[in-house]
Structures are given as C-alpha cells and as structure tokens.
Amino acid sequence: MISLNKALSMIKSKEIEFVDLKFCDLRGTWQHMTLSAHEFTKETCETGVGFDGSSIKGFQSIYDSDMLLMPDVRTIFKDPFFGKTFSCICSIYDPQSVLPSPKDPRHTAQKAEKYLKKTNVGDVSYWGPELEFFVFDQLSIDLGPYKQAINICNREIPGEDHSSSLSQDGYKIPVKRGYFPVPPFDKLQEFRSEMVSMLESLGVVIEVHHHEVATAGQVEIDLRYDGLVSMADKVMLYKYVARNLAKSYGMVAVFLPKPIFGDNGSGMHTHQSIFKNNKNMFYDPKGYGEISKIGLSYVAGLLKHVSAILGITNPTTNSYRRLVPHFEAPTSIAFSARNRSAAVRIPMYFSKSEKSKRLEFRCPDPTCNPYLSFAAQLVAGIDGVKNKLDPIKLGFGPFDDNIWERKDVAQTPKSLFETLAQLEKDDIFTMSGVFSKELIKSYLEMKSEEATEVMMYPTPADFFYYGDI
C-alpha cells in the first residue's frame, strides 16, 4: 500500500492521472467511480465524494439518495490493470450526520472488531479464508423467456471436443482428480503464479496455490491470515485481480459455488482465531483437538446459529447446489478434528503450536460479502462464548467417524429461502449492535427478491426430468 503523502507526491509529478474509488455494496460486489487525479486531495479525503445511493441495490431510496464515499487512505494502491491509476477502498457515510452509513458492509465489519474488544473476549480476531474458484476458457450465458443456456469450455475437460482454438494435447485430468497433478495436466500453473505475484506486489501475502479437485479449471489460492476488516478488503482485491487477470488471458474467472453438475463446488473455508494479550484464546494443549473451552464455546455459537449465518455466508440459490452431502460438502451441523464433512473442523496440521491453532468454518462460499460474512461468524461465535455454550452437551460432536452415515446429526438447510427465514428470526446479529436493523432489512428484501426471480426461470433440467409427464 502507498501512503497518502507519497500518493499526493506522485499525483503532483504527473505519474498518476486517475484515482479510482472502490466500495462494497450489500451483495458483496465492488462498485467504483474514478476521479481525475488533481481532484484527489487531503480535503477530498476528509470531506468525501458524493454519489447516488438509490442507484446501488439495497442502499437508499430515491427520496434520500445522497451518500458519501470516504477514502480510507491506508488502502491506496497502484492499480495493476490500468496505467497511471491509483485505487483506494472507501467506506460509506451519510452526508447529513457525517457518520458511517448503517448499511455499509465495511463499517459493519469495523463494528465487529470493536464488539470483540467490548465483550472482552479478545483483542483481535484473525481470518484466513481459502477461496476456490473456476477459470474457464469460454463462458456464454443466454437468459431469456424463450432460451436459457450456459456453455462452458475448458481445455481441462476430459473427452470433449472444443473449438479448434483450444488445443487437444491429450493431457487430461480425470473427473474429480484435480487435486493436484503437475503440469501439463494442470494447465493453470502460469495463471495462478502470475496472480500470486500480482497480489503480493499489492501487499496481499499468499501462502500457497494449487489446482483443486474439480476437473475443469478449479483453483485455490490461499491468503495469509489477517485482521477482520483488512482480510475482507483483501478478499475483494483478490476477486478483482482474478477476474481482470483472467480476462487478460482470454479466460473467465467464476466464483459460483456450483457451476458444474456432478463435480466438486467452490467453497471459502474460513479459518479463524481470537487473541487476547498476545495469547491464542482457542488453544489448550490438553483439549480435544488442542482447543480450549473458549474455543469450544465459540464452535457452539457458530453451530447453534448456523442456519441464520448461512443466509449471509452462502447467499445465493447456487450456494445450495454445493451444500449437498458428498463432494466434500460440509453439510453436517457438527464439529470434528479432521472430518471435512463437518461444518466446523479443527485443523490438525501442527500439534503443540499455539500460534497456529484455529477453527475452520467450512460452509461459506465465495459469493458471500466478506465484510458481512466474517462479522456474522464472529458475532455468533462470541454469543457462544458469552453464554458458555458446550457443543458436546448440545449434541454437535465431536464426530470422528463417517458423519454422513449417522442419523442423529442435523444437516444444513437446503435452500436460501430457509436460511433467510432463519436470519430474519435470529436477533443476535442486531442485538450485538454490529448489524443495524436497516442493513438486515434491506439485505433480506434484496436477497429474497433475487432468489424469487432466479427460481422463476425454468432450467434444462426441468424439461429433462419432467418433459414426459
């Protein structure tokens, strides 16, 4: 990242001609406007830049549309895709009160960090999401009243004859065996490595990258853990870089959880821990999976509120095409030290290591708004700690056998409508003060409307399964 003084100096010397102001809407999409560089001053950073909030879905009504973008000068970076351009992440303010907007996802994440300190559970939380996504050579979508079609082309798909522009080199990954052969079977090594180099040049530390289980272009690039707001910023930047870099390769990056039938979907497994006075509050070398009682109570909070949480962490109808048993899907409302079908897993890669001890909430997927997703998980976990919930007494485990064969373990909801209904009922998010009632109301309205519209479209599967009735 670049300091404000350095940025202003580069603007003055004409090295930079534009400053792009980026902000996150309720859906988790980056929006932006671009200033001529001479308009980006210290005064601009203090007073903000106006925009029409009624034109952003879920924000404002037409009668109170004015909103302000307030640049966070700690996030200035040189945009890797547009020459002589700085980008800066913004928070959203109300112009009358000059206070943060109650519907700003980034402000919600900031409130979650403050809530952690206020409850005295910890000083800081650390977050390490594993983002999986697909990279396709071609993707065409046709959505209309008389034609609905999707066509995916990828050179890694075995046994398919693509256009002549996609070479048939004979090195194919068999179905569900994408984790993780070397090139020439893995055809995305160069793309991933360039994406990692680009992210690290922007201050985003990456731990590892590799091909994922699904055959046709599924990849994973893991970020080094960071604080809640900072990590949410990095997730937004990660997706921005993935999409623009893929475009430069003539490809398409897709973050849908389940774009391909019969193969593994993409998750955003979210590792998390809480520290207080530089001590990991989740660590106990004598506990189950070396997890402390506080850590177990946090697990209980996540699992108790999981159905409501999913309305935020898994916010699309497509999310529930991934959350079905098998395909390594974490559908069991349970915890385990190593079982990946449990909603909460305790990673056991390193033993007797306080620093690395953490929980992994495996349900989220990359269509979530990361600011809201991390905040919701933290609020639910803290609720478990405050109420000293015991996941064992609540019947959540631990389960170290094949959970899918058990009849006594509840499963995650099967549709977005179910999770939104639970989110509407569960008041811990608003009672915490982290989520405003206005945000939850707008979010529920927006997501319900979206889901209803999606469900109104017939699919080819409708005709295939029901056309003969």
Catalytic residue among 94, 137, 222, 360: 360
Q: Is 207 a catalytic residue?
A: no
- Catalytic member of 27, 269, 271, 305: 269
Q: From the candidates 39, 52, 207, 449, give the one annotated as an active-site residue.
A: 52
Which one of the listed residues 94, 113, 220, 284 is annotated catalytic?
220
Q: Do residues 282 and 419 lie in contact, with contact meaning Cβ atoms separated by under 8 Å?
A: no
**Torsion on CA atoms 21, 25, 27, 32, rounded to nearest 10:** -30
Residue 22 near residue 32 (C-beta atoms within 8 A): yes
Active site (annotated) includes residue 220: yes
Is the preceding peptide bond at 86 cis, omega within 30 degrees of 0? Answer: no
Q: What share of the chain is helix, strand, coil (3-state, %, to 5)?
A: 35, 25, 45
Active site residue 405: no
Instruction: Judge whether 52 counts as a catalytic residue.
Output: yes
Cα–Cα distance list, 147 to 141, 255, 461, 468 (Å): 10, 24, 13, 20
- Rounded to whole angstroms, the Cα distance separating 17 from 10 reads 9
Nearest to 265 by CA among 172, 182, 366, 343: 366
Decide if 340 is catalytic: yes
Given 25, 113, 130, 426, the catalytic residue? 130
The answer to whether 273 and 227 are in contact (CB under 8 A) is no
Check 362, 365, 383, 426 and give the catalytic one. 362
DSSP character string of 419-435: HHHHHHH--HHHHTTSS
- Please tell me which residue in 25, 94, 104, 132 is annotated as part of the active site: 132
Length of the chain: 469
- How does 248-283 read in b/e, with b if 16+ C-beta sit within 10 Å? eeebbbbbbbbbbeebbbbbbbbbbbbbeeeebbbb
- Which of 212, 222, 263, 284 is flagged as catalytic? 212
3-class SS of residue 51: strand
Active site residue 155: no
Q: Which of 8, 6, 31 is nearest to 21 (CA)?
A: 31
**Catalytic-labelled residue, pool 74, 338, 340, 406:** 340
Instruction: Specify whether the backbone of 159 is left (phi greater than 0), alpha (psi in -120 to 50) or beta.
Output: left
Q: Which two tokens stand for residue 39?
A: 């308009």
Contact 189, 197 (CB under 8 A): no
C-alpha–C-alpha distance, residues 230 and 205, integer Å:
12
Residue type, 201: S
Active site residue 226: no
State the catalytic residues: 52, 130, 132, 212, 220, 269, 340, 360, 362
